Amino acid sequence: MSEQQDRLYKHWPALVLIVAALYIIWLNTAPSALGSGLLPATLVFGVRALVAWVSLRALAAIKDAPRSHAWRILVVGLLIWLFADALAVLEWSLAGTLNSAPSVRDLLRVAGFLAIGYALATYPTSHPERFGRIREVLEVIILILAVFALAWLIFFRPTTRAGFLNIPQIFWLSVYPVLDVILLVFAVRQMLLRVRIRGGMPFVSISFAMLVLFVSDLGASFEGLDPPPSASLVQVGWIGSMTLFGLAIQRAARERAGGDLALDHEPIVRLASRLEPLIPVALTYAVVGYLLFDWWFSGNLDWVGVGMSAALIVLLFSRQAVIAGQQEMRQFAALVHATGDLAFIAGQDGSLHMANPALRRVLGERGEPGLPDLSAFVELPESVQVDLETLVEAAARQGWSGEVNLISEAQGVFPALLSLDPVVSARSGEIMIAGTAHDLSLIRKREDDLRVALDEISAARSGLAELNAELEDKVDERTKELKQTVADLGRLNEELKTLEKLKSEFVVLVSHELRSPLTNIRSGIELVLEAHPGLPEGTRESLSLVESETRRLSQFVEMILDISALEAGKFHIETQDFQIQDAYDNACARLTQQLAGRKITTRIEPDLPVVKSDRAAVESVFYHLLDNSSKYAPEGEISVQMWTEGPRLYVSVADEGPGISPDQRDKVFDMFHRLDGSDAREVYGHGLGLPMVKRLLEAIGGDISISAHSDRGVTVTFWIPAEEA
């Protein structure tokens, strides 16, 4: 297909719209310029030819066979109308007018109506059940008869009584509008039926097409009372209706079969499901109502209308009876179709008459299009002593049930439980066989699997018993080893406790023994330095160094003794009221020499509460924290903050030292732990300051934490109770 043809296929409605607009302009400005009816007839023929071409091309895209068949019949109707228009062009060309009805052209138009009506009446909405076809036929008959009855009551009978037209003229003047109404009703019905499967848009277009065609044909019928004019708006209506037909077929070509179903709770679905069954009822009521109204108004009863009304009422009651039976049969059919068991109806000769989808899947290609005999897929086991034919005859009398083998193209041979029961055909009175077969292959497989599992369980149980005996021996042996290990661990624990006690006693003993000598040495050196101011400078520096180291050792001994007392729970806590700032000032006074020249920023929250705690312990905490900041951060600012949060008083000491890595923040509270333990370290210490601080705070009911960056700075925060601990 060329590119120009593709462009024409997509945009042909615009071309038709332009042609129709030009035609309307000619009608309104210079109708005489159109001459005879040849040009309007040719214009209608050209549009129908274009729509026929578009429709034939769109049919190739409809792959669903039932839908494609219906649309092909509809397109055949459009092609018949095209031939009728070709005859109209020929008649205008040769005779300068149209032949009076009935002509070949009129017969072709009626044939086109019949083809389109058949397509709309039989269009597949779903996969109808066999027992639903009667309802479809009854509804189509009711719709056709109701439209003809209304046409008779409203048009035929009054026109016949008037007497100025004969019956053939009345028929040919009214036949096209009546057929238009019938097709309009069919299209609306299909539109409502296909709302659930979201496929009603083509029929919306066809409904509008038939409505436009009805108005045009009605206008043509009135024009037919006089010699037909050469050109009028009737041709515009025919062009518009054909355009809508073409759009409908194009839309149908874009729809896919088996789309998503609309839900019942959607308003449009509820409305459509209620309106569609009411169309035959509404038309029947309209016929009967108009008949009664005409009888009351005119006083004359039309017996033809009475007969049509009676026929409609009988058909309507028949339809309701079919619907009631259809609903019940649909439930049984749905049950049979949905079951996984195989179900069928067979004759006494073994031939299948019906089979459910489960059996058709088993039969495979043998199930399409005809059904095979029972002997083609039923195999009797050796335990059954009769042949299949004798078995079927016996089942026709009293039924039969037993296990057989079924032959499937997909599964091969598999066991099944077959039940055969006699049923009597309501149509012929013949005894039939209703059969159901339940697949036992899964049950047999489960039985085999269970048998294998039981054997495996038995073997596993024996192995488990042996393993249990071995485990009991190993457990006894292991229990003896564990008892010996527990005894050894208990003994080692006691030895460790003894060693720990000896260590603590040794540390305390050494500290006590060192305290007095160190005090004496320091006092003696201080006396010598004070009593002999004239000592040589070198001697004085040596003695000062000895005095300084002696003081440091004395402090070290005091810290060891305090920590030992804290760990032993013998540290004396003396509670008193004091201001936290006073303890801080005293600690700064003790560190005057170390803090000389350092910038210390102090931020204290106003109105701090009075602290009830051990003042000496709090001063010691301040002392060690400030001492650490002065030693490990010799440069930069030291920041001290004090504030309260609830029942706690918080203090933070921050410096700009080298910082503490995250993995070292908990270890700095261990005794004798230092970040730099090398002999060449710049700052000398024992690693007892922070352990001492933590134990003092815990003793008075507080705690301490460190937040630091690995690159620069340390912030130590501790808290103590604002009330007595």
More confident of the two residues 392 and 724 = 392
- Token match 């462009």: residue? 7
Q: Report whether 625 contacts 665 (CB < 8 A).
A: no
Phi-psi map region of 350: left, alpha, beta (phi>0 left; psi -120 to 50 alpha): left
Q: Measured in whole angstroms, how far is the alpha carbon of residue 559 from the centre of its chain?
A: 70
Q: What pLDDT score was predicted for residue 643?
A: 92
Q: Tens of pLDDT along 212-238? A: 888 887 777 766 655 555 667 788 888
Residue 611 has, within 13 A of its CA and on its CB side, a CA count of 29
Residue 368 has pLDDT above 60, yes or no: no
Residue 411 has pLDDT above 80, yes or no: no
Lowest mean pLDDT among 34-48, 152-166, 605-619: 152-166
The dihedral through the CA atoms of 602, 607, 613, 615 has a sign that is positive
Task: Identify the three-state secondary structure at position 433.
Answer: strand
Q: How far apart are CA 395 and CA 380, in angstroms?
A: 14
The dihedral through the CA atoms of 300, 303, 308, 313 has a sign that is positive
Two structure tokens written together for 334: 């749905």
- Looking at the chain, the whole-number percentage of residues with pLDDT higher than 90 is 0
Residue 131 has pLDDT above 60, yes or no: no
Q: What pLDDT score was predicted for residue 128?
A: 44
Q: Measured in whole angstroms, how far is the alpha carbon of residue 278 from the centre of its chain?
A: 37
- Predicted confidence band of residue 31 (pLDDT cuts 50, 70, 90): low
Lowest mean pLDDT among 37-51, 178-192, 282-296, 487-501: 487-501
Q: Tens of pLDDT along 691-721? A: 777 877 777 788 888 876 555 678 888 888 8
Q: Tens of pLDDT along 97-107? A: 777 767 888 88
Q: Which CATH architecture has domain 574-721?
A: 2-Layer Sandwich (3.30)
**Cβ neighbours of residue 34 under 8 Å, at least 6 residues apart?**
26, 27, 40, 230, 231
Two structure tokens written together for 318: 């028949």
Q: What pLDDT score was predicted for residue 593?
A: 72
Query: What's the whole-number mean pLDDT along residues 331-351?
Result: 68
Q: How far apart are CA 698 and CA 704, in angstroms?
A: 9
3-state secondary structure 347-415: CCCCEEEEECHHHHHHHHHHHCCCCCEHHHCEECCCCCCCCHHHHHHHHHHHCEEEEEEEEECCCEEEE
Residue 353 has pLDDT above 50, yes or no: yes
**What class has domain 442-571?**
mainly alpha
**Is 339-439's fold the same as 442-571's?**
no
Bridge partners of 52?
none
Query: What's the whole-number mean pLDDT along residues 292-309?
Result: 80
- Predicted confidence band of residue 491 (pLDDT cuts 50, 70, 90): confident
Q: How far apart are CA 57 and CA 249, in angstroms?
A: 10
Residue 459 has pLDDT above 70, yes or no: yes
Most confident of 113-127, 475-489, 624-638: 475-489
Q: 339-439 in CATH: which number? A: 3.30.450.20
Q: What pLDDT score was predicted for residue 152?
A: 75
Identify which of 692, 685, 718 has the alpha carbon closest to the alpha carbon of residue 564. Answer: 692
- Looking at the chain, the whole-number percentage of residues with pLDDT higher than 70 is 74
Two structure tokens written together for 331: 């439930």
Q: What pLDDT score was predicted for residue 637?
A: 83
Query: What's the whole-number mean pLDDT along residues 542-571?
Result: 62
Phi-psi map region of 399: left, alpha, beta (phi>0 left; psi -120 to 50 alpha): left
Amino acid sitting at position 642? M
Q: Tens of pLDDT along 134-168? A: 777 788 888 888 887 777 777 777 766 655 556 66
Query: What's the whole-number mean pLDDT along residues 491-496?
Result: 79
Residue 15 has pLDDT above 80, yes or no: yes
- Predicted confidence band of residue 365 (pLDDT cuts 50, 70, 90): low
Q: For 226, which DSSP code?
A: S
Burial of 207 (0-12, 13-18, 19+ CB in 10 A): buried
- Predicted confidence band of residue 367 (pLDDT cuts 50, 70, 90): very low
Residue 565 has pLDDT above 70, yes or no: no
Strand (E) or helix (H) holding 210: helix 201-223
* Cβ-defined contacts of 282-287 (< 8 Å, 24+): 283/142, 283/143, 283/146, 283/147, 283/150, 283/185, 283/312, 284/142, 284/146, 284/309, 284/312, 284/313, 284/316, 286/146, 286/150, 287/146, 287/149, 287/150, 287/153, 287/312
Sequence ranges of the domains in the chain? 3-330, 339-439, 442-571, 574-721
Lowest mean pLDDT among 355-369, 405-419, 694-708: 355-369
List the Cα angle 28/31/32 in 5-degree steps.
Answer: 155
Residue 444 has pLDDT above 80, yes or no: no
Average pLDDT for the chain: 75
